Amino acid sequence: MSTLDTASLIVVCGSGGVGKTTISAALGVRAALRDGKKVLVLTVDPARRLADALGLVEIGNKVVQVNLGDSKGELHIGMIDTKASWDDLVVRVAPSQDVATKVTSNSLYRNLTERFVHSHDYIAMERLFEAHERGGYDVVVVDTPPSRNAIDVLDAPQRMLDFFGSKLLKFLTVPTRSFVSSLAAKPFFLVANRILGAGFLGEITDFFTLFRTMEKGFVERNKRVMQVLRSDAASFVVVTTLENGPLHEARFLLGALRERNFSIGAVVANRAIDPQVADEVERVLVANDQRTMEEAAAQLLGSSTDRAPTIVETVRLHATEMVGNARVQRERLVSLGTAAGVEQVWLSPLRGEDITDLEQLRSIEFRPV
Amino acid sequence: MTTHRLLERRLLFVTGKGGVGKTSVSVALARQAVRAGKRTLLVEMDDKGALARLFGSTDLTFEAREVEPGLHAMRMTTEESLREYIRLFVSNPLVSTVGPLARILDFVANAAPGVKEILAVGKLCWEVREEHYDIVIVDAEATGHIVAQIDAPSILSGLVQVGVIREQSKWMQEILRDAARTGVVVVSTPEEMPVIETHQLINEIEERTQVSIAAVVANRSPRVVLQERDIESFNTLLDNAPGAVLEAPARLVQLALQRRATATMHLTSLAARANQSGVPFLNLSEVGGADDRVVVDALTESLGAELS
């Protein structure tokens, strides 16, 4: 049994463009409908038509319930708004309301929370933890934000811990008057002032001095986030397509997950050519030559057209190419399975249309390979 | 042969949603620039090593080197651009007192907003200003980060009141805002999310920055599998196919036709957006194959056809 079926936290990761958001939503639908669970899916930026279909109209941290008809399970979906989430977080970890206000009104705060130490990644983990702490759901699925490097998401909480312990932060929060007397700091501040201007550097140090007063709150919270992610409660799903780039990333990610002792629930090979279909097509192509198929086509089409030979030729050409692609994909699936070292490599077949509603989400099949 | 106006610019940022093939398109553009007789620099902005893999070589370095005849490639790193920056712009006596670079680097990368971006974009503009190359093509940041990058000089000069960086943001802005020299190439695939992001990004760049869009590229456009005139007959065939020998292969073609129809809808939307901004729309066919280098070769030809 995969940890995916028992976990109360599911983290979906993978490189950009592989369908993480769709797979996250589909996993949520599956847990709600198949297992009758109460599910929360936290997502970053769902496709507009899917968001509309699910009733997600507002931007912000609001959670909405999706109508599943008379199902026993429940599906709730929430967006992750980085800015709003940071504001909430600051209020939570600041030693006083006064500090929280000072931090959120600092001119650098907005700029820094948008990009500072992978803040999107950090917030995704934070929201997951918050939902877990608050309880009320059987399963929380989080769709991780598009990151330059998928591993950044996993390391975000630790990175924040490291930042609080770093020399850099201590250095930046040295009381201003001792800059001049500090021999170690002097050359740095001379050059930095020259390049950035004295005022800017002052603002930065002011901000970090404030930020540092939240250290205790941040550190305690982060330790708990890491604990939960390493516990049996959490399960990680790696999504990939069977193209070289995403596969490369997926292998790397799987190794990194194992290194960090995170539990891997499943690997999903998304948009794969259905191997059973490819096998069947290959068998048909071997057993029937162009002639036989032309005759069959002519019979099906009747006397309405003389294009049967052309159509059959096209069909055969395309089908042969797809069978070839499927063969390449199969080799990659096998090597992915070996790399994953998990029981579950799932396959979600290539589709002709965009996923734009609940019915389509429901129809996403996860098939063990 | 006249050179396409896209390649007459001096600095092209190639961006798009993650996974759409920015790197491959950057390489194809660079190769076309070389064919047009341009001294070309191709820049990788992150350390994924994807660009190096496409040239079958080991990792690229900050120091550009010729990876193919006429095509130079480098990798941008904060550390080395900072080093070069200090060497070029900060007076010598000061540099000798800086001490370990690590601390400044740490500061720049983690704490000072916009400084990392301006170092990178500054290096690119420097190459343009010094005319070391005819064209600099950047495999840039994904949609979420590109604005912070191309607009770094403006953002920073809003935050910083005095200092060397503020003075320098002026000449960088001159290059970045000059539509004759600089432009952003937005790459998408004909799929829903990348197309939405493309629209959002172009709007954002046009509203918030003074950098211009240079082209919209549709990558991995599904090919035509069946001629228009045969589609009706094919559908008849499909309706009657259950149980016939043709059924399974015909289903695969049906899937391809559906994908193509979905893609056509998205391509129309991309072409309309390009048209609205008055920039070229380049439609590049999907290329199958196990080897990425073969795929990029085919993509280069596909781009060449679109540019001629």
Contacting residues of A for B256, CB less than 8 Å apart: 318, 322, 352
**In sequence order, which residues have a C-beta less than 8 Å from that of residue B216 and are 6 or more positions away?**
B185, B186, B188, B198, B202, B270, B271, B273, B274, B277, B279, B280, B281, B282
If you measure CA to CA, which chain B residue comes closest to A356?
B192
If you measure CA to CA, which chain A residue comes closest to B222?
A352
> What are the pLDDT digits (tens) for A207-223?
888 888 888 888 888 88
Nearest by CB to residue B17, choosing from A16, A167, A284, is: A16
The interface pTM score, or ipTM, of the predicted complex is 0.84
Q: Are residues A27 and A125 in the same domain?
A: yes
- Pairing outcome for strands B213-221 and B40-44: unpaired
Percent of chain A with pLDDT over 70: 87
Q: Are A295 and B234 in contact (CB under 8 A)?
A: no
Q: Are B19 and A246 in contact (CB under 8 A)?
A: yes
B257/chain A closest Cα distance in angstroms: 8
Any domain includes A180: no
Kindly report the number of other CB atoms within 10 A of residue A316's CB atom: 21
- Give the mean pLDDT of chain A: 84
Structure tokens given for A136: 């009320």
Q: Are A87 and A104 in contact (CB under 8 A)?
A: yes
Check whether A158 has a pLDDT greater than 70. yes
Q: Are residues A109 and A29 in the same domain?
A: yes
Q: Are residues A234 and A312 in the same domain?
A: no
CA distances to A145, A268, A303 from A230, rounded to whole Å, are: 20, 21, 67
> What are the pLDDT digits (tens) for A252-289?
899 889 898 899 999 999 999 999 999 999 999 999 99
CA distances to A148, B16, B105 from B145, rounded to whole Å, are: 10, 10, 20
Contacting residues of B for A148, CB less than 8 Å apart: 46, 48, 141-142, 145
Residue with tokens 């998408």: B188
Any domain includes A254: yes
Check whether A58 has a pLDDT greater than 90. no
B79/A contact by beta carbon, under 8 A:
no
Any domain includes A100: yes
- pLDDT score recorded for residue A336: 87
Q: Are residues A124 and A61 in the same domain?
A: yes
Q: What is the CATH number of the domain that holds A350?
A: 3.40.50.300
* Domain range for A261: 3-154+221-274+337-368
| Mean pLDDT, each 10-residue run in order, chain B (308 residues) | 87 92 95 96 83 82 93 90 78 56 68 80 94 96 82 79 76 95 97 91 94 97 90 91 89 93 96 97 86 89 94
- pLDDT score recorded for residue A217: 86
A62/A41 Cα distance (integer angstroms) = 12
Domain boundaries, given as residue ranges, for chain B? 5-223+267-307
Nearest by CB to residue B252, choosing from A21, A192, A318, is: A318
Q: Which CATH superfamily is domain B5-223+267-307 in?
A: P-loop containing nucleotide triphosphate hydrolases (3.40.50.300)
Residue with tokens 């149980």: B243
Q: Are residues A88 and A149 in the same domain?
A: yes
- Pairing outcome for strands B40-44 and A74-79: unpaired
DSSP state, residue B222: P
A272/B contact by beta carbon, under 8 A:
no
* End-to-end Cα spacing for chain A: 15
Q: Are residues A98 and A126 in the same domain?
A: yes
Q: Which is more confident, B119 or A114? A: B119
Any domain includes A286: yes
Q: Are residues A78 and A107 in the same domain?
A: yes
Any domain includes A193: no
Average pLDDT value for residue range A320-332: 92
- pLDDT score recorded for residue A145: 77
- pLDDT score recorded for residue A57: 67
Structure tokens given for A82: 């980085």
Any domain includes A181: no
- pLDDT score recorded for residue B52: 85
Check whether A176 has a pLDDT greater than 60. no
Cβ contact A116–B113 (<8 Å): yes
Give the torsion sign (CA, B23, B25, B30, B35). positive
Q: Are residues A82 and A225 in the same domain?
A: yes
- pLDDT score recorded for residue B68: 93
Pick the range with the lowest mean pLDDT from A1-5, A290-294, A318-322, A335-339: A1-5
3-state secondary structure of A65: strand
If you measure CA to CA, which chain B residue comes closest to A211?
B111
Strand partners, A74: A38
B229/A contact by beta carbon, under 8 A:
yes
A226/chain B closest Cα distance in angstroms: 22
Contacting residues of A for B229, CB less than 8 Å apart: 307
A16/B18 Cα distance (integer angstroms) = 4
Number of domains forming the structure of chain A: 2
Nearest by CB to residue A284, choosing from B113, B194, B249, is: B249
Q: Are residues A287 and A311 in the same domain?
A: yes
Average pLDDT value for residue range A100-123: 75
pLDDT classification of A354: cutoffs 50, 70, 90: confident
Q: Are residues A261 and A291 in the same domain?
A: no
Contacting residues of B for A146, CB less than 8 Å apart: 17-18, 142, 144
Check whether A178 has a pLDDT greater than 60. no
Check whether A27 has a pLDDT greater than 90. yes
Any domain includes A164: no
Any domain includes A167: no
DSSP state, residue A15: S
Q: Are residues A117 and A49 in the same domain?
A: yes
Cβ contact B248–A281 (<8 Å): yes
- pLDDT score recorded for residue A186: 66
Please state the length of chain B.
308
